[in-house]
Amino acid sequence: MIAYLLRRIAALLPVALGVATLTFALIHLVPGDPVIAMLGESAAPADIEGLRHQLGLDRPLGAQYLSFLAGIARGDLGQSIATGVPVATLIRERFPATLELAGAGLIVAIAIAFPLGMIAGANPGGAADVGAMGFAILGISIPHLYLGPLLMIVFSLDLGWLPLTGRGGLSHLVLPAITLGTAMAAVLARMLRQSLIKVRCADYMRTALSKGLSPTRALLGHGLRNALTPVVTLLGLQAGGLLTGSIITEMLFSWPGLGRLMITAISARDYPLVEGCVLTFALTYVLVNMLTDLLYGLIDPRIRFA
Amino acid sequence: MTRQAIGLGVILAIALLAGCRGASAVAKPAGYIQAELEASPISLDPRFATDAISSRVAELIFDSLVKLDARGNFIGDLAENFQRRSPTEIRFNLRHGIRFSDGRSLTAADVKYTYDSVMDAAIASPKRAALEPLASVAAPDDYTVVMTTRRPYAAALELATIGVVPRGSPARGATLPAGSGPFKLLSFTRDEALILARNGARPSAESAAGVVFKIVPDPTVRALELAKGVADFAENNIQPDLLGYLRARPGLSISQFPGSGYDYLAFNFSDPKLRDVRVRRAIALAIDRQAIVGAMLLHTARVASGMLSPENWAFESDVTRYAYDPEAAKRLLDQAGYPEPDGGGHMRFTLVYKTTPEGRRLAEAFQAMLKRVGIGLEIRSNEWATFYSDVQRGNFDLTSMRWVGISDPHHYYQVFDSRMAPPHGLNRGAYSNPAMDRLLEAAEVAFEPARRRQIYAEVQKLAAADLPYVSLWWQDNLVVMSKRIAGFAPYPNGSLLSFSDLVFDSGAPR
């Protein structure tokens, strides 16, 4: 087990290095200057050079890159150029909000997708199928920027059931989670429907029906478990995307997450903060996959001893 | 189950743990009003606050030696009075009995400390460049401040508008220094809200006890918060097309005031075609500004004749104006050597602008209007930092931008004097006209108000004739306010200083 864990961690290192390198290269290659953003266009050349030196931005790019990597190795992501606050502190403050939103979005996606997909898959071509898939198409088509305010108007403004914006208790989470999860729910529902229609023709389903099971019981008891495999594969692939995909939802609902922090940092060309945010998103994605593999290994001996 | 399902479980578990951390939504204490901001202030320390949002909030917390009135005149703030003792020296007599919110008395030593701090290169204040004309600030006694400039400098009072912090306040410290303004900061959660409490006793039981500034990035959501009654106030951050929706809400009032925000189209003078004033005038004549103000801005702006709005003391109305006249524009292009039908082939420019939905619509309107006179326009939009970098580097033919908060006409020097061309100035199009330079240099040493006004009148006439910018419009200040509060007095530059006078209507819920 320990050897397996070490191998996985070793495999993580090149990925982290690649992400760090790409992030560093991209943010330094695009136009824009954090020093001018801080001092303004009219600043004296000496002041510009002074601050550039103070921030270490006058050193060769290679040297800056090595310092950046050395900082990461020490667990030091540096300080935000714009605010002077350690990047790690800012990320610690904001990342839980993003995780919370992504997690809730996932729950909403599953809660909507599974009933819809099953209803549609059990009755292909029927009214329920048409209705459910119509809903799914609407879910895929409707942009977050439209769905969010629409939900706000109905459930907050008109009905007064839920708050409009901000992060707080569960009530604050409902509308942003629905906004974030709906598109994913639509994709999952369509996939589940297709998968269920396919398994309906399988031999084991015919066997189950011939043994006297009702179509519904056969589908739930034998078909669903087999139909879920591609759905769960898709779900796993999309789950990571929810983390980064929450940026628009965060902006819309004034949700104080990492995405908003990153957008502000990009505008100010706050190099350390952008690098820290991107690295956090990427490593979380990789880490979740690694933990998945580890847990998978725990329950499947073939993986553990492979 | 498969590995993906386990991954899902991992994410949910992490999210659950994160959610257990306990977070609180913005809560508005009783007696407070809630105002909507579109972005978080970058810094509230007056030594660093330069963006419009930071400046507006900071001036509620910190007093300065002088401040601007609604007509752009300087009046005493911390200073009871001030006298120009010589072309290079101004003496300010401070009011007695002023205290910072932490109880300390505010004296001249605090003023001197604030200015010395800004002028110290080590703290990297973005305001240091603006203080370049300042030689020193002295505090001969507790209530006298003497400001000395390096050279005779008529616009010196502009230098006296930096908010004062207590002596010893560290730059970029963990906490905001105390101020002496009408409000004090209670809390600031970046990207969420900042809460300001009244500094000192409430003038009356009806007065607002404080202000919650909530940061809501989306314009539609800001309108919804006003409609729901969650928010009480928004200024200049509600889109004109949402005003009709808000007007129908019985609890809200919408006011429109003349503003000094100035939108313009700037030319890059490194392009030989744009150095020809006939081409610049043709472009000005080809743009139907009245139609844009009516159809796109829904009459929330006034067609501009120059950088200074009519409310400014130095405004000059007798300048060349460019009413929409595409035929005249074509004739000018013919005279400039770009006759139709080939004009369109030769005249092709790139317009760069910041990516926003409004910017895109505006750029497309310019494109369509210029096409009618045979000028091709390629539109290039970028996010703010890239756009700003392009503009600074002169990487554009035309660009559309806005000046916010213009008060003193000295601004003309910063944007049209040939010495202010990039890389270290705001004359981004590198406009150079010796006649303009001479006028602006004369204005720098014109201390007599009538003489100063006369010179700036000439500057405005020359700018309108020579067209380094096409003046587009002055944005009105749009205020959406709950009817349960009253007492807001607008400033053309969008200042929120009258927040200290806001009161609740008697009987209104707090």
A254/B228 CB distance under 8 A: no
3 state SS of A235: helix
Residue A30: predicted pLDDT: 79
Is the pLDDT confidence value at B304 over 50? yes
pLDDT by residue (tens digit) across B30-89?
Answer: 889 999 999 888 889 999 888 889 999 999 999 999 998 877 789 999 999 999 999 999
Q: Which two tokens stand for residue B480?
A: 């959406």
Residue B467, exposed/middle/buried by CB under 10 A (0-12, 13-18, 19+)?
buried
Q: Which two tokens stand for residue A121?
A: 């898959």
Residue B20: predicted pLDDT: 44
Residue type, B240: P
Task: Please calculate the CA angle B304-B308-B312 and round it to the nearest 5 degrees.
Answer: 120
Q: Distances from the Cα of A201 to the Cαs of A116, A194, A197, A205, in angstroms?
A: 20, 12, 7, 7
- The beta-carbon neighbor of B218 closest among A94, A236, A251 is A251
On whether the CB atoms of residues A118 and B44 are closer than 8 A, the answer is no
B3/A149 CB distance under 8 A: no
Predicted structure pTM score: 0.84
Cite the beta strand spans of B357-411 per DSSP E: 376-382, 398-403
Distance of CA A223 to the CA centre of its chain: 30
pLDDT by residue (tens digit) across B83-111?
Answer: 999 999 999 999 999 999 999 999 999 99
Q: Which two tokens stand for residue A18?
A: 């690649």
On whether the CB atoms of residues B244 and B377 are closer than 8 A, the answer is no
Average pLDDT over residues A253-271: 89
Closest alpha carbon to B114 in B190, B177, B198: B177
A224 CB-side CA count, 13 A: 15
Q: Per residue, what are the HEC states of B415-428?
A: HHCHHHCCCCCCCC
Is the pLDDT confidence value at A8 over 90? no
Is the pLDDT confidence value at A90 over 70? yes
A223 — pLDDT class (breaks 50, 70, 90): confident
Distance of CA B262 to the CA centre of its chain: 9
Which chain A residue's Cα is nearest to B420? Answer: A42
Is the pLDDT confidence value at A176 over 90? yes
| d(C-alpha B54, C-alpha B42), whole Å | 6
How many A×B Cβ pairs under 8 Å? Answer: 213
Is the pLDDT confidence value at B214 over 50? yes
- Chain A 120-179, CB below 8 Å of chain B: which residues? 145, 148-149, 152-153, 156-157, 163-169, 172-173
| d(C-alpha B110, C-alpha B112), whole Å | 5
Cis peptide before B341 (omega within 30 of 0): yes
Q: Is A95 on the interface with B (CB under 8 A)?
A: yes
On whether the CB atoms of residues B245 and B289 are closer than 8 A, the answer is no
- The beta-carbon neighbor of B224 closest among A32, A47, A153 is A153
Q: What is the rounded (10 degree) CA torsion for A159, A160, A166, A169?
A: -110
Residue A242: predicted pLDDT: 80
Residue B508: predicted pLDDT: 58
Is the pLDDT confidence value at B279 over 70? yes
| d(C-alpha A37, C-alpha B387), whole Å | 12
Is the pLDDT confidence value at A179 over 90? yes
Q: What is the predicted ipTM? A: 0.80
B298 dihedral zone (left: phi>0; alpha: psi -120 to 50; beta): left
